Chain A
Amino acid sequence: MIPSMELPLVFFTLLSQLAIGLTLLYALRTAGPSVQPEASAKTQWFVFAGILAFSLIVSLTHLGHPLLAPRAVLNLSTAWLSWEILIFILLFALMAATAYLGVTRRFVWLTAATGFVALFVQGMVYSPSSFPAIHNVLPFAFFLVTAVILGAGTSAWFAPQDTQPLLRWILVGALSAGLLLFLVAPCVWLSGGIVMRLTGLAYLASPLYWAHIVLGLAVPLAVILVSRRIPSWLPILLLAGALCGRVVFYLDTIHTGVNIGGLQ
């Protein structure tokens, strides 16, 4: 990874996953057959679209030549990255349309589904063979769990009271899944090849990784188990933890090129 180029990507992935998480949570909240769209649905969806738009702009600053960005969709035949850009633009369009044309059930579920697929495509972009530790479904799993955690957490700010318990359960589930996932992954890597083991060791030795585990996952889980509702300051903690986790994901995942000349 080239550190100087990665910061914009950290923010792009986090913010886009936040936006997708919010749409997923909105869909889950209003999933019930008799549930009417929430009062502030329109403004919510404008906010979701705004977050996604901002994340796309930030991703432009990662490019060496932003003005050539339109070329990024030319290689749909083989490049997941081209699909990622296409599907995120489509997602933004759907979010904006939903917000603009009215938050109908059909639109909500279509956007949520597109968001889910977007997470999968994004996961595939980040699992090249040059990073053995994440040359699998883990990036998608990381992104999905992060999206749900951030989505559920931040939804608590504006979701109606009657849906708070549902949010709380979803957040408990997501946090426990996240805790399990982020703790187990490095340990599994320790038993893999040299480069995979180096990645595991790098994660476990990184303070940011432990900040993500403790502040981003464990403490929030404990808090909402004890206080039976999601305190308003909790989403800040979740966002900060996710940020630390994502920086570790970019900087401490070891590339095979680093160990050429050594056993792989």
Chain B
Amino acid sequence: MKKQLGFYVDAKRCIGCFACAMACKNQYHQASGVVWRQVYPLKEEIYPHHERAFYSLSCNHCEHPVCMEVCPASAYTKREQDGVVMHHQERCIGCGNCVRSCPYGAPRFNPVTERAEKCSLCWQRLDAGIDPACVKSCPTNALRLINLATFNEPNAVQFPPGYPHMSRLNPSTRFRQPELPKIIKPEDQQ
């Protein structure tokens, strides 16, 4: 299989501390309100405790990116060598079709530059041989950079509950499910 980089989101280790999301802002200083990496709390129908399990998501660098597909101005390209999906600012006409069409809401509309922008897997850092800013900043090693060609984590899942199931796009993100502790509560507070 060709080299395809992606994120491994280990929701068992993830403590929802937002360090990764802020590390992205710390690196790229996006306009206020524009967030490339968001930490989504799992709703109680998936993890029975309010805001105690999370998925940290940015762009999934899909095998068949819908943003690249629907962009009328061909502003997206997918790098041959590692499968990173990149957005080229100067080609963007600001039509918002990618923002509308990506089921994961990865491209965001920047009201200042009136263009779309999204996580580019820190390709400048990758080319310089260092980890993306979010992966490097995770304190519990819950967000890791993986190469799908050599990735064989046994209990990894591609479409966990709470993550839109879009097999045609074949997103490169893989997940590990959160787990629940044994809970001992006083009788009257079950």
Which A residues have a C-beta under 8 Å from some C-beta of B?
Answer: 1-2, 5, 62-66, 68-69, 71-75, 78-82, 85, 125, 128-130, 255-258, 260-264
Nearest chain B CB to A98's CB is how many angstroms away? 27
B95 touches A260 (CB 8 A): no
Q: Which residues of A contact B162 (CB under 8 A)?
A: 260-264
In the docked arrangement, what's the CA distance between A60 and B61, Å? 30
In the docked arrangement, what's the CA distance between A119 and B60, Å? 32
Q: Which residues of B contact A2 (CB under 8 A)?
A: 96, 99, 109
In the docked arrangement, what's the CA distance between A264 and B115, Å? 29
A257 touches B105 (CB 8 A): yes
Interface presence of B3 (CB below 8 A): no
Interface presence of B29 (CB below 8 A): no
**How many residue pairs bridge A and B at CB < 8 Å?**
130
B43 touches A71 (CB 8 A): no
Q: List 26 A-B contacts (CB under 8 A).
A: A1-B100, A62-B95, A64-B95, A65-B114, A68-B91, A68-B94, A72-B93, A72-B95, A74-B74, A75-B71, A75-B73, A75-B74, A79-B74, A80-B70, A125-B97, A128-B100, A129-B103, A130-B66, A130-B100, A257-B102, A260-B104, A261-B43, A261-B162, A262-B162, A263-B46, A264-B165
A262 touches B101 (CB 8 A): no
B39 and chain A: residue at smallest CB distance: A261
A258 and chain B: residue at smallest CB distance: B105
Q: Which residues of B contact A264 (CB under 8 A)?
A: 161-165
Chain B 65-97: CB-based contact to A (< 8 A → 1; otherwise 0): 010111111100000000000000001111111
B41 touches A261 (CB 8 A): yes
Determine which of B66, B69, B73 lies in contact with A72 in the assembled complex, contact meaning CB atoms within 8 Å: B73
Interface presence of B18 (CB below 8 A): no
Nearest chain B CB to A40's CB is how many angstroms away? 37
Contacts A68-B73, A130-B100 known; A261 to B42 CB distance under 8 Å?
A: yes
- Which 7 A/B pairs are nearest by Cβ-Cβ distance? A64-B94, A257-B105, A64-B114, A128-B101, A261-B40, A71-B73, A262-B43
A263 touches B109 (CB 8 A): no
In the docked arrangement, what's the CA distance between A261 and B53, Å? 9
Nearest chain B CB to A136's CB is how many angstroms away? 15
A129 touches B166 (CB 8 A): yes
In the docked arrangement, what's the CA distance between A198 and B91, Å? 35
A260 touches B96 (CB 8 A): no
B101 and chain A: residue at smallest CB distance: A128
Q: Which residues of B contact A129 (CB under 8 A)?
A: 66, 101, 103, 166, 168-169
In the docked arrangement, what's the CA distance between A110 and B40, Å? 51
In the docked arrangement, what's the CA distance between A258 and B115, Å? 21
Nearest chain A CB to B125's CB is how many angstroms away? 26
Determine which of B45, B73, B97, B166 lies in contact with A262 in the assembled complex, contact meaning CB atoms within 8 Å: B45
In the docked arrangement, what's the CA distance between A128 and B45, Å? 26
Nearest chain A CB to B15's CB is how many angstroms away? 16
In the docked arrangement, what's the CA distance between A260 and B113, Å? 27
In the docked arrangement, what's the CA distance between A125 and B96, Å? 12
A130 touches B103 (CB 8 A): yes
B40 touches A260 (CB 8 A): yes
Nearest chain A CB to B114's CB is how many angstroms away? 3
Q: Which of B30-45 contact A (CB under 8 A)?
A: 40-43, 45
A65 touches B71 (CB 8 A): no
